[in-house]
Amino acid sequence: MSAPRSWWRNLLGSLRARLLLASLIGFIALLLGAGWFVVQRARTLLIEQFHASLTSDLRAMGAHLWLDASGAVYVDWNETYLPEYAAPSGSMAFQLWLEDGTKVQRSPLLEQGRGDLPRWGGALTAPGIGDWWLPDGRHAIAATALLVPRASFDPATTQHDPAILTREVELAVARDATALDAALADLETTVRWVALLAPALAALLLALGLSRGLRPLSRLAQRAAEIDRPDARLRFPTERLPSELLPIAQRLNELLARIEAVFQRERRFTSDAAHELRTPIAELRTLSEVALRFGDDPEHARRALDQAHSIARRMGDMVATLLSLARKNLMSADVLRETVPIVAAVEAAWAAHAPKAESRALAVRVTAPPEFSADTDPSLLNAILSNLFANACEYTAPGGRIQLQVEARPDGFAVRVANTVQDLDAGDLPQLFEPFWRKQGARNDREHFGLGLALARNLAELIGMRLDASLPNPREIAFELRPRG
Amino acid sequence: MRILVVEDSDILRENLSLGLRKSGYAVDAAAEGKDALWHAESSAYDVIVLDIMLPGLDGVSLLQRLRAQGVDTPVLFLTARDTVADRVHGLRAGADDYLVKPFAFDELLARIEALARRRYGAAERVRRCGELVIDLAAKTVTRAGRPLTLRAREFALLELLALRAGEVVGRAEIERCIYDAHVEPMSNVVESAIYALRRAIDAPGRPSYIQTRRGLGYVFADPAAGAG
């Protein structure tokens, strides 16, 4: 019994949900990072621009700073030249101090509100800049610098104290920053809304995109659900399939083709087995019905019994061979690995068939190297060779020729069995190893079922070898047992 | 009735031949297609029972050659091939019937009888001739409602004459139908068979159902109708 799945596993049970969640998390993280970066960068740029503008204002105001011969310092301004400083509720303000901090002059905005600007020092090229609050409470940014006022008189011709020419004063200007603050607040609000709404929109778009993008996968899954039997018409479509899914569909189609081939082979085997059993059953049924119907002749009854016994023995042999074939397909785990003297094994297997070859006047030629050994299963090797030799002795016409050739190979050994034939052609080769296959002319042979070569090939595969047949010439067939390449 | 059995299985061929002979048929048998072709070309058969998978010349090819030569003997395919395609192929090749192995011997007999009746244009299984009623399927004969006992060969002769009622059936034809190729008929074998059949079916002291046409053969007819 499987453990219950946790809720989050259920939630993330589908590939689509996983992709959606992962994409969404990534998108939100990217969005927040990008939003933060954009806001910070915009703030910096806007403030730098504000500072630059304020510094220009400070320089412009500095250009209007004068010193008279009495040592008085003043900013020469009026509403015409610098109107932005004139309005009591305007956006700009300035203030001038002597070096010792004595307030000299300030703009109407400061006068009315009785406020001051900061004294942060600095120079015109690098003024002191910072936040400040105007007397009416508005946020402003102020810039201050220490500078030497220009003389409004000719020092060469006018009497004056020379010390006043080098005396520094401090000038400050400030500008209302509420517009900048509003712009920055707007930017942040916009980014916040984007950060809030974008994930929802992104989730929707991602869901739609994933649904569309994963449609081929859904079709693949739907097709898989429809494939409930091995049928050549039921295959995964490969047209217009994404490149990621194409190899999967192709491999699955190949797998289905192999499964179908196995099923077809099984069905053919079952059909062939049933077909092969029809004739002995028909014989048995007919002879028994005739014997029962006309059984008054003891001689006929005895003959019928003999025939029934012969049929039973033949069917028993067939069933034994079929069982052997079925078991050999399952017993790969039981294959032995022993050091086997191959030449001796071939000679021993041949010895059982030599009398039959002799009785049929077959010319036999054996070619073998000096004895050598190879690792294999001796009993399975004997069974393979015995089937090959029996086949050669049975189907070589009287007076024909059999050639046995043994060869040592670096990876084991090879055995070649060739014999003369009369009625085989290249079209028969693919069917030679099919269970129950016999050439048409050989089907009236009731002692053989056409299972020997199928069994031999299965056994060869079990011991890691392959068994193939070829027609070196139209009157000779050759079977070769060799290591699986 | 004379039947050719073509079957490559020795046991099946032997027992089919035996069963059919015991059922009153003259039977020739062949194990190979070429032998069967020779038999069919050299003798006339009422039915041919033909296996499809034969060494040498297969059953379908054999049948096609016979039909090409104008031999219209009814052919019953007896085969292990049981698919619809196999049956269609066999019937289209010219076979009249198709029976799949394994089969019941009674069914084979019934099909052979049906083919034989069709050959002689007798669709009905019962033939009547005066007081004589012959059931070709049940192989029974009654006269005036009383069952008669006939041997298989006597019934086969009666069947031949009844199917050709009113026609002269020659001596050679009777020999062909009653005896197969392995039996050398004696010169008086037909007369002996006719004599035995007359004793079996004729009523004592009444004219015979089988009339002799000297030099021609025999005619099966109702003696009362002839007298009238």
Segments of chain B scoring below 70 in pLDDT = 121-124, 180-187, 226-228
Q: Which residue of B has its CA nearest to A307?
A: B11
Segments of chain A scoring below 50 in pLDDT = 1-2, 443
pLDDT at position B227 is 46
Q: Which residues of A touch B (CB under 8 A)?
A: 275, 278-279, 281-287, 289-291, 293-294, 300, 304, 307, 310-311, 440-444, 446
pLDDT at position A336 is 78
pLDDT tens readout for residues A112-133? 777 899 999 999 889 999 999 9
Torsion-angle region of B144 (φ positive above 0: left; ψ -120 to 50: alpha; else: beta): left
Of B9, B18, B105, Cβ closest to residue A300: B18
- Asked if B80 and A282 come within 8 Å (Cβ–Cβ), the reply is yes
Mutant choice from A271, A277, A281, A283 vs B, greatest count of B C-beta within 10 A: A283
Q: What CA–CA distance (Å, rounded) separates B26 from B23?
A: 9
pLDDT at position A1 is 47
* Size of chain B, expressed as the number of residues it contains: 228
From the CA of A291, how many Å to the nearest CA of chain B? 8
Mutant choice from B5, B7, B12 vs A, greatest count of A C-beta within 10 A: B12
For chain B, give the mean pLDDT: 85
> Strands across the sheet with A139-147, in order?
A103-106, A92-97, A169-176, A139-147, A128-133
Q: Which residue of A has its CA nearest to B106?
A: A289
pTM attached to this predicted model? 0.53
pLDDT at position A83 is 86
pLDDT tens readout for residues A282-337? 999 999 999 888 877 788 888 888 989 988 888 887 787 777 766 665 555 567 78
Of A289, A304, A307, Cβ closest to residue B105: A289
Whether the Cβ atoms of residue A395 and residue A443 lie closer than 8 Å to each other: no
pLDDT at position A328 is 61
Q: What CA–CA distance (Å, rounded) separates A202 from A133?
A: 43
Q: Which residues contact B107 (CB under 8 A, 6 or more apart)?
A: B99
pLDDT at position A46 is 93
Name the 3-class secondary structure at B132. Answer: strand
pLDDT at position A267 is 75
- Asked if B15 and A440 come within 8 Å (Cβ–Cβ), the reply is no
pLDDT at position A213 is 86
Please, what is the Cα angle at B98 between B93 and B101, to 5 degrees?
Answer: 125
